[in-house]
Amino acid sequence: MTPRSAPAPGLLTIDSPIGRIALHSDGDAVTRLEIATQGRLTTDGAPDSPTPVLRRTATELAQYFAGRRTDFTVPVRLIGTPFQLDIWRQLQAIPFGDVRGYGELGRATGRPTAGRAVGGAVGANPVPLLVPCHRVLASDARITGYSAGDGVVTKVWLLDHEGIPHR
C-alpha cells in the first residue's frame, strides 16, 4: 500500500469590500485569513496556489459580503494554546448579527477575571471572519480595538454589515 501524501498547502488572494484578503490552507482546511493592512498583505508578490477549500472559502466570503450568507461551512484548522482554542470555540458560537463581551467569553471558559487574556486570544485569532472575532465588544457595546485589516475601521464595517449596534 502506498502512503498517502500530505495535501499541498495553498494560497489565494481575493478582493473584498474591506480590502484584499489572503487565504491560506494546509490543503484540507483554512489555516489563516489575512486582511490587508494599509493595502498590503504579507504574501504580496507570492503566486496564488488555490486549493479546492480556498476556492470554496472565496465563494462563501463573496456571499457573506453580498449579504447572502450568515455563516461559514468551510473547515478551519486552529492551532493555539488550550486557552486560545477555548476562546476561539466561543467565537465560533456567536451567531451572525450578535455580539459577546470579553467578560462573557471569560466566564464561558471558566475564567471570569481573565478579560485581558481573553482580549489577547481574540486578537490572536488566525482566521478572522470565519471565526468571527469582530463580534466581540466591551460590555457597553464599545469597540476596544481590532487586530485585522485596518483595525477599528475594518471592525466598524463588519459590525455595520451585520447590523450590530456599537459605539
| Residue corresponding to grid cell 489575512 | 34
Architecture per CATH, domain 10-65, reads as 2-Layer Sandwich (3.30)
- Return the number of other C-beta atoms located less than 10 Å from residue 102's C-beta: 21
Asked whether the beta carbons of 112 and 106 are under 8 A apart, the reply is yes
**10-65 and 82-161 share one CATH topology?**
no
Domain ranges of the chain: 10-65, 82-161
Q: What is the pLDDT of residue 109?
A: 86
Of 119, 147, 122, give the one whose Cα is nearest residue 132. 122
Which positions of the chain have pLDDT values less than 50? none
122 catalytic per annotation: no
Q: Which three cell numbers stand for residue 101?
A: 463581551
| Gap between the Cα atoms of 152 and 122, Å rounded | 14
Asked whether the beta carbons of 37 and 150 are under 8 A apart, the reply is yes
Q: What is the pTM of this model?
A: 0.92
Q: What is the pLDDT of residue 4?
A: 60
Domain 82-161 grouped into CATH 1.10.10.10: yes
Q: Which of 14, 22, 114, 133 is catalytic?
A: 133
The DSSP code for 28 is: S
